[in-house]
Amino acid sequence: MNFMYVIETKKLTKKFDELVAVDNLNLQIKEGEIFGLLGPNGAGKTTTLLMLTTLKPPTSGTAIINSYDIVKQPDKVRKSIGIVFQDPSSDEILTGYENLKLHGWLYDMPSTLREERIKEVLELVDLTDRKDDRVKKYSGGMRRRMELARGLMHHPKILFLDEPTLGLDPQSRDVIWKYIEKLAKEKNMTIIITTHYMDEADKLCNRLAIIDRGKIVVLGSPKELKKELGGDIIRLKAENLDISGLKKLKYIKNISDCDGEICLTVTDASAHIQEILSTIGKVDSVEIRSPTLDDVFLHYTGRGMRQDTPEGSWAEKAMHASTKS
Amino acid sequence: MSEIKGIYALWYREMKVFMRERSRVISSIINPLLWLLIIGGGLGSAVSFGGINYQTFIYPGILIQTALFSSVFFGVYIVWDKKIDFMKEVLVAPMRRTSIFFGKILGGSTDTFLQLLILYGIGFAFMVTGIMPGLHLTVVSVLISLVILLITTIGLVSVGLIIGSQMESPEGFQLIISFLIFPLFFMSGALFPITNLPAWLAPFIFLNPVTYAVDGIRGVMLNISKFPLLMDVGVVCLFAVVMILIGTYAFKKMKI
């Protein structure tokens, strides 16, 4: 057994009838790391999370979390982890404070520590004033913050965050990010995040894995991944673009279509821009920039992240439910 | 220790919800009152059994009806917990599934019991004012009937939890009313005596565990019963134990 890794999946697989949601996943996550799981809709992120948190049994394979096996020792695994779900899991009829108290009981926290932590997390998510209001009266963003407060309350060794800042305003996101970073550093907490926000992954994650169709497509630090793309991005907009000429230029690593425009991955773009423009002819606009995680994502999955909304978000479900009834 | 705290947490939640959802409390009083006054009063003008007026005769049946509806529905309600992610939050806590099951039973039984106590109050008022003559609400009959109701309630909450743990969405609610609660209620002798039943109906009634709860309570409250009290209590206990066992298993196998 390797104690260096706080999470190690071994051929972790989940099948739903014919569909292979997670396909022989082998993943190692180090202690104190903030690890990101990215992927398009239905890539298997949430299923992976549910298996790692013992809520869904794997079809085959297993994972070792904090040296416990998720299949054989789920009780011990649950003691080591905390999770913030994508959907709200607070009871609407209870107040914010009561929800946190309930959580403290479920995690067997001594009462003084419980009250201390409740105070701490309420301040963190800025809900101290509203703690005695029923969750029903909270706005979407406030509920999200409530969920986070609860997941953080028992300071687990490993914390899973499923879309932690979904639907939050920029200021709140910033506060949450700072706190997540602080937890990882000070408490040596390992944090696993699934997210649809590339800037979030870029800012927070030490390493990330892009998953598609249940498999890891690429894994590395945001910096490495961007570097691996090999150069800068040139985005061209023009009518009747003829890209056949561009294919002869060796320094162009990749040509792809971004929402009707052409994206080129070019080593040392500023030195070559003149030649590219003369090859291609008249263009309406040109943009040169360094690659972002969005480009990395697009490159490896062939799909833009922004076009997707997170699968099965609670807001979506709520809308679906209300149109049904 | 942690298990007890967790069970307490689940019970606390149910109590808060019960106290705050006024509509549930109000309907739990209005519904039996309607049955007692309208069905009991209306039919009672033409029907009486063994010298006891119909209203008084169905009072034990109405107690059971309240227990039946409240308990089974409480259990099935966990479908809703599953729908919002509250269930996941509980399942991912370091608590045994069995403890979660017992926490739920405790919560559901308390819910039901609070409603039953209100109904006892109504029964007592009706007895004192002479609306329901022949009703014996003594310390002994109240205690024995409460024990029977408690055991029945535990069994019925388990039934609801078993169904709820296997159900994926609340859409099946209506089916449960039609195919479980109503048959159990109508085929329990809650509304009629079970002494001279048509041959085709008798087996259904005698296979229904709720029948024995009604019979036992009617025995201690009205002195009308078909089976000995010990047999009634025995059947009800057996029912509860079997349901708890199945329920514990169902909770262990519950998927989300």
Residue A76: what residue type?
K
The model's pTM: 0.82
**B85 to A89: CB separation less than 8 angstroms, yes or no:** yes
Q: Determine which of A108, A134, A320 to mutate to test the interface with B (most B C-beta atoms within 10 Å).
A: A108
Q: Which of residues 56-115 of B touch A (CB under 8 A)?
A: 84-96
Query: b/e string for A6-17 if b means 16 or more Cβ within 10 A?
Result: bbbbbebbbeee
Record: contact B92-A105, CB cut-off 8 A? no
Q: Which residues of B touch A87 (CB under 8 A)?
A: 84-85
Closest approach of A258 to chain B, Cα-based (Å) = 37
Beta-carbon separation of B92 and A87 below 8 A: no
- A78 and B12 in contact by Cβ < 8 A? no
Q: Give B198→chain A minimum CA distance, Å.
A: 43
Render the burial of A225-242: b for 16+ CB within 10 Å, e for the rest.
bbeebebbbbbbeeeebe
ipTM > 0.90, yes or no: no
pLDDT tens string, chain B, 256 residues long: the values are: 578 999 999 999 999 988 888 887 788 789 899 999 999 988 888 888 878 889 999 999 999 999 999 999 888 888 888 887 788 889 899 888 999 999 999 999 999 999 999 999 999 999 999 888 889 899 999 999 999 999 999 999 999 999 999 888 888 777 887 889 999 999 999 999 988 889 999 999 999 999 999 999 999 999 999 999 999 999 999 999 999 999 999 998 887 7
| Phi, psi angle pair for B196, to nearest 5° | -120, 65
* Chain A CB contacts of B6 below 8 Å: 105-106, 108
B92–A83: do the CB atoms touch at under 8 Å? yes
Of all residues in chain A, what percent are helix, strand and coil, respectively (each to 5)? 40, 25, 35
pLDDT digits (tens, 9 = 90+) for A107-121: 989 999 999 999 998
For residue A186, give the amino acid letter: E
Residues of chain B in contact with residue A161, where contact means CB-CB under 8 angstroms, are: none
Residue A303 — very low, low, confident or very high, per pLDDT cuts 50/70/90? low
Partner residue facing B94 (CB), from A75, A88, A314: A75
